[in-house]
Structures are given as C-alpha cells and as structure tokens.
Amino acid sequence: MPLRMKPLADQVIVITGASSGNGLCAAQMAAAQGARVMLAARDEGALKQVCAAITERGGTADYLVTDVARQADVERLAERTIARFGGFDTWVNNAGAGVYAEVLDLAVDDHRQVFETNYWGTVYGSLAAVRHLKDKPGGGALINVGSINGDMAAPILSAYNASKHAVKGFTDSLRIEMLMHKAPVSITLIKPSPVGTPFPQHGRNGTGYRARLPVPLYAPEVTARAILHAAQHPRRSVTVGGIGKVQVLGATMMPALFDRIAARMAGMLTRRDEPVPFEPGNLYQPRGDNGQTEGHQHGRQFSTFTAAARHRATSLGLLAALTAAGTLAARRRSARLT
C-alpha cells in the first residue's frame, strides 16, 4: 500500500500537548491552513479557549482532555478523533514535562513521572497512531517531538535528557519495523534546539533559582513549521535550528571536550540572581496558565538551517559547512582549555 501524504487543507491532525508552546503554535498554524485539528492536553479551560479562538478565525478544531501518561486516555483520543472526523492523517506526539534539579537532588518519583509523560506518552500515542495509519488507504504521518537533548546531554535537566534519548531510540526502532512491513507510515523525529516556550515556567524547579532556557533561542513558529512540513513530506528527522545542530556535532565529534564545556554552562539554565522557593510546576497536574505559545523568553522567528533542510541538496551543503564550523570552533576551545 503506497504512502500518499495529503496537503494540510485535506488533513485531520491530532496534536498532544496542544494547550501551550510548540503544540499550540502548530495547531494554530495547521488550522489557519485549512486542517481540521483535534487538540489534547490536561487543561480543559485552555483547550476550550484555544478551540474557540481557532473557530473564530474560521478554522475547525475539537479537543479532548487527555493525560498522555495514561494509555486509556490516549486510546480514547484516537477513538474520539475517528468518531468526530472519520479518521486522522497525522498524529503529533508533543506533550512534554521537565524538572530542574541536579541528579542527586532529583526525587525518583519526579524522574519517573517525566518518563511517564515524555516517553510513555510518546509510546502510547505512537501505538494508537500507527495502528490506525498502517491500514488506512494512503497511510499518513507520525511525528514525535524529541529534542537535541536526545543527541547530547546537559546538566540540571537529567530526567528530561534521558527521556528524549529514549524517545529517539523508540522512534527509530518503530520506523524500522514499519519499513520491514512496508507500512504506509512516515515517521519523523523533530529535534528542536532551545525554543522560547513556557517550559521554564511549567517545569518543576528545585534548584532554588529562577529557571530559564539557554540562549540563543528560536520561536515556537520555527518548530511548528518543521512539524507541518513533516506532516506533508516524508522526513526521517528534522533538527530545528542550526545552533542546536552545531552543538550536537560538537558533542558527537569531541564528546570529552563537550562535557567540559557543558559543565561550565549550567548557569545558563537558572538565574542565579533570582532566588525562588520550590516550584511544583505542571509535572503532576496542569498549572492553569496555559494558552500561550511563548514564555518569558523570546526567540528568533526564523532558522536558515531548518528552512534549507527542507531541500535536500541545500541541506547537505549547509550541513557540511556547519560540520566544518563546529570542528574549527571545537579546536579553538580545546586550544584555550589546554
């Protein structure tokens, strides 16, 4: 059965984690281009608000309150979408959570809950999506939102890093199995660089200092465009942002040096001049302050690397240039540190 990916205007798209950040931005952008969207998150108030706004602009949207850490919720999401729209063409696993804490200060229950959302939520969504798409005429797309932290590591966010490594491993294995069975399912892993979403405000924070994202940042629109491109064109993986690609290249080519540099960058994840009490975040329940694509930090609206990556010939040349630049920068840092 051949894969035939539809233009957005003819698609039904399911998006988890759709009440804020990258998921919300992708939902708004998809609906504006004519897609019918089914939105999933835990915060019903935010979902109602988002759907109402999309409808007011002439779009078509529905929602289901969903905790992706519960397989029954995710299966119900698939069933409700099929009942409401007759099926779906693209499923986006975007829901995510994080904890700001050093490993020795990280509660095991919190570590486990990050995996329940980020990893198991992706597994449950992938299973529901593939079971529908593999037998659907023309098939469709499964898009899992990982992170450049699935290719490298960073301090303070160890559980998040580990979960994104797991998401990458699972997604790659599932893709291979779909190829084995010649299933008409495009499986894409989206790997954003730091994006100016509300992630620091939503993250559980036990560091004692205000959480933040390392700069420079990209805007959620950059990730959303990558997601919607993958909904229409088969892509294995997409790194969002050239800055992140250079970091991953450095971590891959010179891992020991990268570890030493990353150890000095821990301060970029917290504001040491802003002490704060323990912040529970939305790890176990929604905060009720969703409905925003951006957080306190704002990022650049465009990535030349990500735009070029949509065209394979251009992206190969750009990747070669980035590799050379990353190697040169790593050599210069190594010379300064020795």
Residue 256: band (very low, low, confident or very high) from pLDDT cuts 50, 70, 90 = very high
Residue 265: band (very low, low, confident or very high) from pLDDT cuts 50, 70, 90 = confident
Catalytic residues: 160
pLDDT of residue 152 exceeding 80, the answer is yes
Average pLDDT, integer, range 280-303: 90
pLDDT of residue 307 exceeding 60, the answer is yes
pLDDT of residue 8 exceeding 60, the answer is yes
pLDDT of residue 67 exceeding 60, the answer is yes
Residue 270: band (very low, low, confident or very high) from pLDDT cuts 50, 70, 90 = very high
Average pLDDT, integer, range 64-85: 98
Of 96, 169, 170, whose CA–CA distance to 130 is shortest? 170
- Tell me which H or E stretch contains 15: strand 12-16
Residue 327: band (very low, low, confident or very high) from pLDDT cuts 50, 70, 90 = low
**Which pLDDT score, from 0 to 100, does residue 324 have?**
54
Give every strand in the sheet of 140-145, ordered side by side.
60-65, 36-41, 12-16, 90-93, 140-145, 185-192, 237-240
**Which pLDDT score, from 0 to 100, does residue 300 have?**
86
pLDDT of residue 330 exceeding 70, the answer is no
Tens of pLDDT, residues 99-136: 999 999 999 999 999 999 999 999 999 999 999 999 99
Lowest mean pLDDT among 151-160, 242-251, 269-278, 295-304: 295-304
Instruction: Provide the mean pLDDT of the chain.
Output: 93
CA distances (Å), origin 197, targets 152, 192, 222: 20, 11, 11
Mention every residue, 6+ apart, whose C-beta is less than 8 A from residue 331.
none
> Higher-confidence residue: 211 or 313?
211
Of 311, 163, 289, 177, whose CA–CA distance to 233 is shortest? 311
- Find tokens 């390392």 and name the residue: 214
CA distances (Å), origin 11, targets 89, 128, 172, 206, 327: 6, 17, 25, 42, 42
The span from the CA of 121 to the CA of 265, in Å, is: 30
pLDDT of residue 334 exceeding 60, the answer is no
Lowest mean pLDDT among 43-52, 126-135, 245-254, 313-322: 313-322
The span from the CA of 142 to the CA of 160, in Å, is: 21
Q: What angle do CA 300, 150, 267 make, to 5 degrees?
A: 60
3-state secondary structure of 191: strand
Sign of the CA dihedral with 310 first, then 117, 219, and 211 last: negative
**Which pLDDT score, from 0 to 100, does residue 315 have?**
52
**Which pLDDT score, from 0 to 100, does residue 332 have?**
56
pLDDT of residue 321 exceeding 70, the answer is no
Sorted by where each starts, the structural domains of the chain and their CATH numbers stand as: 8-332 (3.40.50.720)
Q: What angle do CA 16, 18, 24 make, to 5 degrees?
A: 140
Instruction: Give the ranges where 219-311 is alpha helix by DSSP (H).
Output: 220-230, 242-253, 255-263, 304-308
| Separation of CA 99 from chain center | 16
